[in-house]
Every structure is written in structure tokens, then in C-alpha cells.
Amino acid sequence: MKKLFGILLIAVVVVGILLIVKDNTTPLIEPIVSYDLSSLDVFSKPLSESGIRADSIGFTSFSPSGHYFMFVAFNEAMTLGNQTFVVDLSSGSIVNPEGVPQRGFTTANGDTLELFTSNGLVLYDPKNDPVVPGKAIPNSKEIFGGALSPNGNYFIMNGSDGVSLYDMHTKSVREIGGGKYDGAHVWFSDNARILGYRETDENLFEAGKGRELGIWNIDGTFSKFPIEVPVHVIGLIEWVVPEKIARVNAGYDDGSFDYLINLEANTVASLGDTSGAIIGGIEVDVKNGVVGVLGAFEGSANYLKMFGSDGALLYKMTLDPLKLYKDLQIVSKDEVLYLESTVPSNGVGKDTLLVRHNLKTNQKSILKTFTDSNFVSLSLHPDHVTWIVSDGTAFSLGKL
């Protein structure tokens, strides 16, 4: 009986430990919700009827959960300036928080936006703070961006003085990495580790050395990735397969290169020179575990590539060198959307096409044409079904 009791006690302790570990983890990707957007006034009527004045609109982005949509209204009048608007897709309500984003919604920050104001960086959470954005993070004017922990307790910040950690509850900031060129980009689900890099020798920085990829802990310790990765100026790190495979964008004087880092197999796969994708776009689709690269060089070679999470080249397409391509969106590993622009020979006006491209058959279909428009932007809902295009003055909706 005592032996049986001992076994049961051990089992209870083990289960308890497992529950504690489970409670300390937070899913990195929220469940995706879909809505019928055609009934919302902001998408079906002129923006002026929603009280929004704009000479043009753009910089559109869906939140990872699909619950919110943001855009920036650009105004030539200095009295208005550029304004950010966030739409709650469940109700159609619109909020105009202070500040302008440096980037849209990202998987790194979930449904929280980074807004830059005259007082510094503000984290705007439309779910918990629908009207008034939170106070600016102390001394954040030299912060370039960061990532919110999955449980919302911490915000890891990258700035001119390296890496620091902001406690969302105590409003305190403490240094994590002291190197000028240290960086931290994406969290693990345990809310204690962040994938990033550290400076090893500032004097070697200009030579493309002096940095190493690894994992930061919130206590300030760093675990080096065992395989050397040629990192110079890191543009971005993001998950392709959460906690297993990450995309690393590294910039050099002679271009921009992308790598897929496998943290389980300790391998590095190169996606090659991705400099042309600055315009066309590099898109990571976590749902399908693929990376698309739209290399757009007007007047020269244009291409479209799709890579698997292991770095294998799934598709490579040559596109018209006389056209301009941008805003790549991944529907599946075999299908994408993008915008294709044609400049008439007389140089007046520009027609932009919304293209659906089947990579398996190499067949393209035109979903919509925008005439004489220079400010067209495309966003695809995380459900991979609903798309929104802004032509600079209004929105167009569609479903695949």
C-alpha cells in the first residue's frame, strides 16, 4: 500500500510540474477569426462618410488574429498630417490612436501595434485600450522597434544602446544586452527567451563579422547558435515554423540576403540574394510554413520564388521585366497574390492589376484592375480568403 501511495504521489507531482510548465507557456499564434467585411461602412462607402479625411491611404495590414485592420491616411495639409486608423472587423468601429506605425501588425506583436509619437514609442492594444493609447515607454525615442512577449508581460526593445526589457506592469526598463549592435526579435512560448544576436567585437562590425546568432534570456544570459551564420546588419528575424525555424534577413554593402535557421537540426539554408524584394516583398506564411520572394527590378529581371521551411526551392518563375511588382501575399504553397503595374508608353497614368498566380500551372488571372492610380496596396486576411486593396482613395474587397 505504501509503495502504491508513493507511486501515486510521484505521479501527482509530475502532473503538477507539467501543468506548471504548461501554464507558463503562451501560444505564439492566436486563433484566426473571419468576418463578412462587405457590410462595414469603411469598406463600402467613401471614407469621408466615416469622418476620415485623406489625400491617399495605404500602409494596410491585418492583425495576425484577423480581428483588426489598420491603415494610414496620408494628408498634404500639415494641420492634419498622417494619421493611423484601426478598424475592429467584428463591429466596424474605427479608432484613431496617436502616432504613426513604422510597420503594420506583425506576428511578433500579435494584435498590438507599435506607434511612434513625439513622446516616443507607444504600444497600442485595440482590445484592452480601445480609445486612449498607453503612455509612451520611458526613454524610447532611440528605440527602433521590438516584440511583445506572448503573455503580454514584457516588451523586448532594440535601440541605439542595444537590447532592453520593458516590464508592462511595473513600467520599468532594464538592460539585457549591452552591446551597441545587440538585437532581439522573436519570443518563444515560454515568455523567457528571445531569438536574436549579440555583438562580439564592435571593431569587426564593418567587416561583416563580430556578431553571433543565438537566444537571449530575460535574465540577460545568451546562448550561442552552434552553427555560424553570416550576420552583418540584421533587418528582420521572424518565425516560419514557430520555435523551430526562423527567417533571418541580413544586409551587406553589396545587397540583402536571407537565411532559414533550423533551431532543432542546427542547420542554415540560404535563400540567396533578396535585394530586389525590397519593393516586391518577402512574405512568410506561418500557416503553410513557406517563404515567398518577389524580386522586382523595374526594367530588368523580375522573379517569383517559393521556398519550403527547409530552404528547398519549390518554385521559380520569371516575370515580365518591363513591369513593376509588389505586395506579395501567399494563399498557399502553390498560389500567391500580388500587384502588377504597367506604365503606358506616354508616361501618363499607371494601371495596376491584382493578380492571382497559380505556381503549379503557372497560370495567372486578373482579379481587379485599377486605372490611373499610384497608391495601390494589397493585404490578405490571415484566413487566406479575403483580400483588401486600397487604391489611394477607397477600399476594394474580394474573396478567393
User: Over the stretch 322-353, which tens digit does the pLDDT of each residue have?
Assistant: 888 999 999 999 999 999 987 665 555 578 99
Q: Please state whether beta strands 120-124 and 113-117 pair in parallel, antiparallel, or not at all (unpaired).
A: antiparallel
- Asked whether the predicted pLDDT for residue 134 surpasses 60, the reply is no
Q: CA 192, 197, 202 angle in degrees (round to 5)?
A: 135
Q: CA 330, 107, 307 angle in degrees (round to 5)?
A: 35
Decide if 153 contacts 191 (C-beta within 8 A): yes
Decide if 284 contacts 267 (C-beta within 8 A): no
Per residue in 3-61, pLDDT (tens digit) is 444 444 444 343 343 333 445 788 777 789 999 999 898 998 888 887 888 878 888 99
- Point out the least confidently predicted range of 63-77, 225-239, 293-307: 225-239
Among the listed residues 286, 288, 243, the one whose alpha carbon sits nearest the alpha carbon of residue 263 = 243
Decide if 352 contacts 369 (C-beta within 8 A): yes
**Structural domains of the chain sorted by starting position, each given as residue range(s) with its CATH number in brackets:** 278-400 (2.130.10.120)
Using DSSP's 3-state secondary structure scheme, residue 313 falls into strand
- pTM here is 0.86
Among the listed residues 236, 211, 235, the one whose alpha carbon sits nearest the alpha carbon of residue 224 = 211
As a whole number of angstroms, the distance between CA 32 and CA 105 comes to 14
Q: CA 129, 131, 135 angle in degrees (round to 5)?
A: 65
Q: What residues have CB less than 8 Å from 262, skipping those under 6 apart? A: 244, 245, 268, 269, 310
